Structure formats: structure tokens, C-alpha cells
Amino acid sequence: MIETNNPKISLRQQCSLVGLSRATYYWQPAGESELNLKLVRMIDQEYTRTPFYGSRKIAVRLNQQLLERVNRKRVVRLMRKMGLQAIYPGKKTSIPDHQHKKSPYLLRNLSIPILTRSGRLTSPTSP
């Protein structure tokens, strides 16, 4: 795509033709810091031990183990980068069984007196 040693067209012109800035062409991603690598190992150990912990609980556990404070957003970013997610119940966990007999609601037409703050008994239909 872009040839660095082309004598006919300069690198600047090649980048311009492709629609790429030269800063983007020379950009190289920075590697992870030593602290982040240490955090990744600790998150992996904690997640292996307790896979139902989310980012909040893992951040609390890391702060208990480390001398430095670890922000939860950093833990979220690293967990996302590692592809980790807490195990939790998903949707539709309370699906009723259609074969189960449903009991009728026995209090539907029953008038139950209500005790007011003044100590009077009233029926729910009267004000």
C-alpha cells in the first residue's frame, strides 16, 4: 500500500493519496505497563477462584491485596480485554410450568376492613 523507499513519490504524497495522516502511519500502539500485567494476572486468579464476582467486587478484592488503589474502570477495561464477564442468572429464569395447577385467588371479592391512623375500622370501598 505505502512504499517507504519509492524514489518517484514521497511518503508524504503517498499518505495524502491514501487519505492517511503521517502521524497515523508512524503510530505504534503502546504496550501494557507492568502494573497492568500484574493486575491481569491477579484478576485472572480471582476470576478463576470466584467467577461470579463482577468488576466491583474484583476491584474491592484487588484493593485489599495491593498497596496502590485500583480504579473499577481499569478493572472493567482489563476484564473486557481478557474477555471475562461475571456469571449471573440470565433472562427468563422464572418461566411457569404449564402443567402445574394454578390455585384460584380466594380474596378477590372479600371485603377486608382497614385500620386507619385514628384507630377506626373502615371498609376499602368507603372513603
Q: Which residue has the higher pLDDT, 61 or 126?
A: 61
Specify the 3-state DSSP secondary structure of 79: helix
Spatial CA neighbour of 84 closest among 58, 42, 47:
47
pTM of the model: 0.57
- Same domain for 69 and 46, yes or no, is yes
* pLDDT per position as a tens digit, 52-107: 999 999 999 999 999 989 999 999 999 999 999 999 888 887 788 888 888 899 88
Radius of gyration of the chain (CA): 32
Mean pLDDT within 14-23: 92
Domains identified in the chain, total number: 2
Residue 56 lies in a domain: yes
pLDDT value of position 125: 64
pLDDT value of position 107: 84
Residue 45 lies in a domain: yes
- Same domain for 50 and 21, yes or no, is no
- Same domain for 43 and 77, yes or no, is yes
Residue 112 lies in a domain: no
Cell of 14: 503517498
- Same domain for 65 and 78, yes or no, is yes
* pLDDT per position as a tens digit, 101-124: 888 998 888 877 888 888 888 777
Residue 105 lies in a domain: no
* pLDDT per position as a tens digit, 33-51: 999 999 999 999 999 999 9
- Same domain for 76 and 47, yes or no, is yes
Domain that residue 15 falls in: 1-30
Spatial CA neighbour of 87 closest among 126, 34, 48, 61:
48
